[in-house]
Amino acid sequence: MWPSDDKMQAFRALPYSQKLRVGRCLARGESPTDPQMATAAVELAESYQRQDRLGAVAYRWAPLIILVLAAPLAISAIDRGDELGLIINALVVLTSAMHFALSPATRPKNMARGMEASRRIARLHLLTRPPPGRGSAV
């Protein structure tokens, strides 16, 4: 088991569609309204912030650099009539553009704002939840 597994239990418990939703909320600087997803958003943002400086910089800027380098290669493949080169470079450009657009790590200010909002929702849920064993009497 990886050492980070115990730190991201709420995020790993979510289905894939909710993981994508949590990532999009963080990228926009918002918080999910569901308390379980808010807890997962805090875990995801903290995992991004735990990265070392070089890893964080590379994860943030590598997609943009790859996009800038692969786009001229795709255009060059069009000029040469190289269909395989065009397809490969177009896929690289598309993947890099999507990563840059959707990844919370490419917008650290939005991610920090979303993490704080998610912390407030998760904390509010913990404060308003009834204590265990204190349900209505039957």
**Tell me, what's the pLDDT at 130?**
65
Query: Among 108, 68, 110, 105, which residue's Cα sits nearest to residue 89?
Result: 68
For residue 133, CA distances in Å to 46, 102, 113, 137 come to 32, 42, 35, 10
* 4-13, 30-39, 74-83: least confident range: 4-13
Distance CA 31, CA 10 (A): 15
pLDDT in tens, 27-48: 999 999 898 999 999 999 888 8
Q: What confidence tier does 135 reach under pLDDT thresholds 50, 70, 90?
A: low
Q: Which backbone phi and psi does 8 adopt, to 5 degrees?
A: -130, 40
**Tell me, what's the pLDDT at 55?**
79
3-state secondary structure of 103: coil
Q: What is the mean pLDDT of residues 112-135?
A: 79
Six-digit token string for 101: 């657009």
Greatest distance between any 2 Cα atoms in the chain:
78
* 10-14, 63-67, 102-106, 119-123: least confident range: 102-106
Q: Are 64 and 76 in contact (CB under 8 A)?
A: no
Neighbour-count burial of 84, counting CB atoms closer than 10 A to its CB (0-12 exposed, 13-18 middle, 19+ buried):
exposed
Six-digit token string for 17: 């569609």
pLDDT in tens, 95-110: 998 888 888 888 889 9
Q: What string of DSSP letters covers 8-34?
A: -HHHHHS-HHHHHHHHHHHHHT---SS
Question: Does residue 11 carry a pLDDT above 50?
Answer: yes
Give the distance from CA 126 to its chain's centroid. 24
